[in-house]
Amino acid sequence: MNEYYKGEPKLLVSVDCIVLGFEDKKLKLLVGKRKVEPGRGKLSLYGGFVRQDESLKEAANRVLYQCTGICDNYIRQVGAFGDIDRDPGDRVISIAYCALTNVADYDKNLLAKYDLKWVDLNKLPDLYGDHIEMVRLALAQLRKLLNTEPISFNLLPHLFTLTQLQHVHEAILGVEIDKRNFRKKIKLIDFIERTELIDKVTSKRGAALYRFNRKTYKNSPTFKL
């Protein structure tokens, strides 16, 4: 402890992670039961307190790794939540982060280990404290970013069909998209590459598989859909 800021109150700072996945044409949210009071047993986002030796983002990545087993998630800060009475346990300021992941990459053993589960974003259960507000804000931000940043590919496998890509966009926006116009726009984007591979698992007729070329995108990071 140094001599500066003596007499100023010390507040607890936490991170809460909004982990979103895509499965069965729906956006899914990863939630778990709280292990401590207040609110023990209530469904909540997965989170933790920021340690002395880590930044906010480092804390969020640590929490994400603990609950997903994945260390290279797409992650972005959603905002700060600091209402005085937001946590009945103490004065806690929480920084919410949104992470996008491919459900297929998720270590299912962690579901049982941390008592977690995926829930349909359109049928959210009651969540602890202001966690639903965090989720709603994150979704609103994703909807604004969807057509200007290539965020949707973080929810898909490395190889995907255009139908799968369309379903992701529809799930995020909450509306149906015209198939013809969507594909016309996609085919104008040079870093969404068609491969020679065919998907015969999700498509009965067999659909071409595409991939997102991150290297090409980084050389010209302009995305408009």
Per-residue pLDDT of the chain (225 residues; tens, 9 = 90+): 567 888 888 899 999 999 999 999 999 999 999 988 999 999 999 999 999 999 999 999 999 998 888 888 899 999 999 999 999 989 999 999 999 998 888 888 888 888 899 999 999 999 999 999 999 999 999 999 998 999 999 999 999 999 999 999 999 999 999 999 999 999 888 899 999 999 877 766 789 999 999 888 888 777 777
Query: Side chain identity at 151, as an amino acid letter?
Result: I
Please state the length of the chain: 225
The per-residue pLDDT for 204 is 67
The per-residue pLDDT for 41 is 92
8 Å CB contact between 60 and 17: yes
Helices (H), 4-108: 56-68
Q: How many CB atoms lie within 10 A of CB 49?
A: 12
The per-residue pLDDT for 123 is 94
| DSSP conformation class of 52 | T
The Cα 33–Cα 137 span in angstroms is: 22
Question: Which residues in 45-104 belong to E strands, given as ranges?
Answer: 46-49, 74-81, 92-100
Query: Side chain identity at 84, as an amino acid letter?
Result: I
Does a cis peptide bond (omega within 30 degrees of 0) precede residue 221?
no
The Cα 118–Cα 71 span in angstroms is: 19
Angle at 156 between CA 17 and CA 67, to 5 degrees: 30
8 Å CB contact between 222 and 148: no
The per-residue pLDDT for 1 is 54
The Cα 139–Cα 54 span in angstroms is: 27
- Sign of the four-CA dihedral 121, 127, 131, 133: positive
